[in-house]
Amino acid sequence: MFKSHKLKFIDVAKVSRNKMVFLPKEVREILNIDSGSYVGFYQNSKGDVVIKKMEIGK
């Protein structure tokens, strides 16, 4: 059976000239991200991109 997932809009970020994006404060807090943290980027079958905190080298 089809299961739908509702998305909650959090914030918007602008891509800089150097192609960098600053993660909004609420996103950093939700993912518990700080300086030196790693994030992974995943693409689902619909083409949406999801960001997840990664634990590397622990």
Residue 21, domain extent: 1-58
Question: pLDDT digit string (tens) for 14-48?
Answer: 999 999 999 999 999 999 999 999 999 999 998 99
Q: What is the pTM assigned to this prediction?
A: 0.76
CATH of the domain at 39: 2.10.260.10
- State the amino acid at position 17 in one-letter form: R
Angle subtended at Cα 41 by Cα 29 and Cα 18, rounded to the nearest 5 degrees: 85
* Domain count of the fold of the chain: 1
Nearest alpha carbon to residue 51 among 19, 13, 3: 13
Q: What was the pLDDT predicted at 37?
A: 95
Parallel, antiparallel or unpaired: strands 38-43 and 49-54: antiparallel
Q: What was the pLDDT predicted at 35?
A: 94
